[in-house]
Structure 1
């Protein structure tokens, strides 16, 4: 009996020990599994509850720098860090990581815009669409903005508008460089009486698009495409086409109606996207060019010498207007344009979000195991960091157009128009606009800046006082 009882005790003890061992194994395995499932995020700070680090990120700063927030965080955490900017966010000033995001757009990442932007531009705009819808609209835009159309249609239109703006100036006149740039930026609204209305509409809503979402709600600034001023102007334009008052290929609206036979809704989506994108970029870029050249007399003189030569050749062939060959000969002008777009940083960052769980392994990651990007997290690609990288550009915060002589504008080192599948379709048009304006500007006027105040970024680039300048007529006789 005693032996039997001892046998039972030993069996029970063995069973108990076995259970303890199994429980320990399961516990340790569970902890290890949980550890593995936890995302390996980059270092960083999530900031205050709810608001995170949004205000610090968007604080006014010079567009010729990253700003204190990014400089402090990259120094503390590295080029890739986590934050909370309107939600959990990965912020990147790393060129290789940014290229990885853009190369995987549509597969691992998608577009991410604040609700304000979607409310103003609409859900079907070229700026806010993604996937097949965006591909379709972008393909239409690229077809319309081809080199052939730039040469035959847009160049004469741009030059005509430039002359209208510049010929309205008088010797010694004090003007707002920003306002004059806006007048030029609205040339795309080329029909009688519509330019002023569209100019006001674009300026008002480009500013609203950069504000916080609740500002737009409080202001009641939601834009209905069918009810807005642009929509009413398009209705009038369509009626002119129907009654034969306008040629079928005279502008993009006519082209879409007659060549592509697109419905009104899709035409509005396309036009609003192109107008907003082109207006903001070209008007700000022109203001920045006037600012930079005002601080660099040497660049102004070299630019003027180049255009005196082009004007002389134009006179010798008996022409009064520029042609495509003239534009292609503006070599130093192209250097000035590239340098303006690099240092001006009109597009500071791109917004994306992860649509899948993503693991990134790159040379720049502090952790040799790489980083995880949880699904649904936003990603801010700071492309201005590329333009201000001292390892790529010597003295990156200096305006130096000569750095582009004998150097191609690689899309890897220069991204003023974004990148990847969403590269701006109007990039070449914007560069041509700037070159044509500069041709007539430096041939006819010199100018002085009335103050030395730099523009600010919040996050879009603005001259707080409108870039006041005084223009002086040049006698070319």
Structure 2
């Protein structure tokens, strides 16, 4: 009996020893990132916001990906709120860097508009795939010049007269075509439609020749942009690099051909964005290289069709589900808020910055978490509800509505996107309906929120008594 008691005691000691050893080892491992990144900060460590750096090397990426592969992606940030309170800023280790996540309107506005304190801080995967000479990699001065050059042709009053007719004609043709196709992936077809529009704006008639080749590669590119930079076969980033290589080759042939046509006066089509890029000179008369032009094209062609297509799909989906508010104003803004196409943008502190009572150290990345801002119940009652009427007589405070970012790096194509969406909704809602195969298809949140089946279904013509 005594020996049995000794054995039980021994087993308990072994168990508790193993448990304590495991907990100690886990604590040491989880402290490694903290020690590595904070040891040089000295007393400034006490000024950091609360949070944790997760596991060595991978940081918080596992918990981030796990949350965004469930039906509750907000659980990633709500976990920080539950553990540390509503501080608005949290330290994390994401996409390979020590970072500060900002989740309040005040903090987001500060980060996005203060160019003296913050510069772009996109992950290496994004920079390598979109291009180091695109907006994601340019300095403030280079960005300001190139943005001014490229934004004017796709924004402002002249856009209406130049592109509205083209957009409308192609929307009408597309809807007629889809009606006769039977089963389609609604999102996929919308992406093709919006891609055709942006190709026309940037590459004119040549866009129709290479549009299908380019559009296929952008899907792989997009998945890689939001992934870790792991260049191993089977990973999204590796596939993205292969897609970029093909995109560069196709666009290089277009640029080379256009240069030759211009040199021999064989180019007779109207002036498009590629012409503007080829003619551009800075204050020192330096012209853009082919690499710079191609990176700008890759960036614009990607951003110019993805956001419009996804937002149009969701606006159509919500309006069909809510016929009582079919013609209420502010439908587009409510869709942009609820879907939050870009869940986060990246900046980097160029010096120690004090924000909302905390210090963001120089060189650290800053993740502007749009989802927290757009789903803040103090600003938007019942934030997960699609309710365009919330915008009636309501103007959100600065920093609380950021579908296209803010500050000097506000998305230059935001007006074009809204026009595309509005034109499509006008023609679709008056004449067609979408019959989904699976209205309850599970959602995917990376790289962008969408039904897993890409909103598969059929487009049917309806008879409407509504007068326009």
For normalisation by structure 2, the TM-score amounts to 0.79
* Residues 88, 377 of structure 1: 8 Å contact kept: yes
Candidates 383, 406, 414, aligned match of 1:396: 383
Consecutive unaligned residues of structure 2, counting only runs of 5 or more, are 1-40, 282-286
RMSD: 2.7
Deviations 1:158-209 (CA, angstroms, capped at 9, x unpaired): 1122123112123693221111111112122233322212221323312221
Aligned residues: 404
**How far is the alpha carbon of 1:298 from its aligned partner?**
2.2
* Residues 225, 237 of structure 2: 8 Å contact kept: no
- 3-state SS of paired residue (1:447): strand
**How far is the alpha carbon of 1:270 from its aligned partner?**
2.6
For normalisation by structure 1, the TM-score amounts to 0.77
Indicate the residue corresponding to 2:117 in structure 1: 108
Indicate the residue corresponding to 1:447 in structure 2: 434
Farther off after superposition, 79-88 or 244-253: 244-253
1:355 paired with 2:350, answer yes
Larger-gyration structure (1/2)? 1
Farther off after superposition, 411-420 or 453-462: 453-462
Consecutive unaligned residues of structure 1, counting only runs of 5 or more, are 1-33, 304-331, 363-369
**How far is the alpha carbon of 1:418 from its aligned partner?**
0.9
Higher RCO, 1 or 2 (CA under 8 Å, sep at least 6)? 1
Check 1:219–1:254 CA distance in 2 against 1; reply closer, same or farther (3 A cut): closer
* Residues 431, 463 of structure 2: 8 Å contact kept: yes
Alpha-carbon distance in structure 2 between the residues aligned to 1:172 and 1:196: 18
* Residues 60, 459 of structure 1: 8 Å contact kept: no
Indicate the residue corresponding to 2:402 in structure 1: 415
Check 1:472–1:248 CA distance in 2 against 1; reply closer, same or farther (3 A cut): closer
Indicate the residue corresponding to 1:221 in structure 2: 241
Indicate the residue corresponding to 1:322 in structure 2: none
Q: How does 1:100-139 map to 2 (within 5 A)?
A: 100-105=110-115, 107-139=116-148
Check 1:171–1:197 CA distance in 2 against 1; reply closer, same or farther (3 A cut): closer
Check 1:36–1:256 CA distance in 2 against 1; reply closer, same or farther (3 A cut): closer
Check 1:442–1:240 CA distance in 2 against 1; reply closer, same or farther (3 A cut): farther
1:96 paired with 2:122, answer no
Alpha-carbon distance in structure 1 between the residues aligned to 2:226 and 2:395: 32
Q: How does 1:229-240 map to 2 (within 5 A)?
A: 229-240=250-261
**How far is the alpha carbon of 1:458 from its aligned partner?**
2.2
Alpha-carbon distance in structure 2 between the residues aligned to 1:422 and 1:63: 31
Alpha-carbon distance in structure 1 between the residues aligned to 2:247 and 2:188: 28
Indicate the residue corresponding to 2:225 in structure 1: 209
- 3-state SS of paired residue (2:433): strand
Deviations 1:283-311 (CA, angstroms, capped at 9, x unpaired): 21122222222322223xx33xxxxxxxx
Candidates 47, 72, 79, aligned match of 2:79: 72
